[in-house]
Structure 1
Amino acid sequence: MMRPRLTIFDEPLLYTEGLSKLLGQTEIFANIHICNCPQALALVLKDDPPEFLMISSNMLILTDLYKSVENITSKNKGIKIIIIGNDYDVIDIRKLFNKGIKSYLDKNSRYDEFIKSIQALLLNEIYICDHAKNRMINFISHEQNQTKIHIKDPLTKRELEILKLICDGLSSKDISEKLFISINTVETHRKRILLKLNVKNSVGVVKYALENHIID
């Protein structure tokens, strides 16, 4: 099997060159390329996209990161994106995976965990670092005893559809455009969903959806 190529989109140079040399010793990658600015990355992706791309939260704010990942994966289906995040929320991490990333590591992840994530990606698996995984477990489980919410009125088919889009991080405007309904209608559905689930906000909706296996 041919060895993949890796592009690292991060700074400072001292750190990225050090990481590049360490990875070079493993002989996992055919070559490792460093990009320190968006223009350099755009050129690499246009002319010769690598199989693996590591993007650091140093380089892009979260909203730009979503757009960038979506843009890259839409043009390069085979590219495996690794995000080095800055203690992102569980919902943000989920959204990044929905946009097409294959691995998420936090800034406090160690080198050996980075290697573990590479090995998982080589096997066409996804990878989430232990630190983020623990946050997900805490997010899903209640502080002492986990209790499932039992709702009196079941959600309608449309409400379930909107619930899933809320979990994907879509705004009311995004949902209205996607489903071809007015924002007012979306807001009415949102209120009914919160009422039926007995939760206060979108975080409560996501918790319910995860606990009841409506979303993965």
Structure 2
Amino acid sequence: MKPKLTIFGEPMLYTEGLSKLLTQSSLFNTVDLCNSYETLEENLQGKPPEFLMISSNMLMLTDLLKNVEKITAQNKTIKIIVIGNSYDIMDIRKLFNKGIKSYLDKDSRYDEFLKSVQALLSNEIYICDYAKEKMINFLNTDEKKQKLHIQDPLTKREMEILKLICDGLSSKDICEKLFISINTVETHRKRILLKLNVKNSVGVVKYAIANHIID
């Protein structure tokens, strides 16, 4: 049996047009429109829809988060699609934590909405391409920051030893090259591992390559 869809959004010109389009697509059994939270609450009573689409222009983000949590607590099987307003990655993550199953952005195309519906019908989640791109950029930026960030910077001597480790020199080779005791070399090694948060020389080399200390 085809699922029911409720659209909570405005303006009515937009929602009515979308409703007619979706009815013609034969994806849903019925498509109901709600343009106030009171009518939405009435719609969710009794036999709630399987799908609920919420437009971000209906609620402030804080209210949206609260109401998504409330709706999903009362209706465990409901699948919520949020049409966001260029939300950042952390806010999108909060929405999923509260219980939404799909995030589309205001500029998402109709074909993405259809992909979203198909994903939800298969009990999967869906994130639009726009949000995915933002997520990838966020992760890449965060990864770069982690690579470059050291709470306790390496000293000039530790940097010198790091480069020699990357050249494949043993502690004995390093102590002979720098004219220092092997115990001093081992102490520097331990500090380098600790500062870079790596476990061995392989980790040291990976760090050096990632941060262009060596080619």
TM-score tier (shorter): 0.5 to 0.7
1:135 alignment counterpart: 134
**Displacement of 1:47 after TM fit?**
2.6
Structure 1 residues 79 and 151: CA distance shift in structure 2, 3 A: farther
2:36 alignment counterpart: 37
Structure 1 residues 1-216: aligned runs within 5 Å: 2-142=1-141, 148=147
Counterpart CA distance in 2 for 1:34 and 1:72 is 17
1:185 alignment counterpart: none
Counterpart CA distance in 2 for 1:142 and 1:66 is 27
Structure 1 residues 68 and 143: CA distance shift in structure 2, 3 A: closer
1:164 alignment counterpart: none
Which structure has the larger Rg?
2
**Deviation string, structure 1 residues 38-93 (Cα, Å, up to 9, x no partner):** 00001011233100000000100000000000000000000000000000010000
Aligned length: 154
Among all aligned residue pairs of Structure 1 and Structure 2, give the percentage whose two residues are the same amino acid.
67
Gaps of 5+ in 2: 153-194, 196-215
Counterpart CA distance in 2 for 1:76 and 1:104 is 19
Gaps of 5+ in 1: 154-195, 197-216
Counterpart CA distance in 2 for 1:39 and 1:12 is 17
SS in 1 for 2:107: coil
Q: CA RMSD in A?
A: 2.4
Counterpart CA distance in 1 for 2:147 and 2:124 is 30
Worse overlay, 58-67 or 139-148: 139-148
**Displacement of 1:26 after TM fit?**
1.2
Q: TM-score, normalised by structure 1?
A: 0.67
- Counterpart of 1:39, as a letter, is E
**Deviation string, structure 1 residues 88-111 (Cα, Å, up to 9, x no partner):** 010000000000000000000011
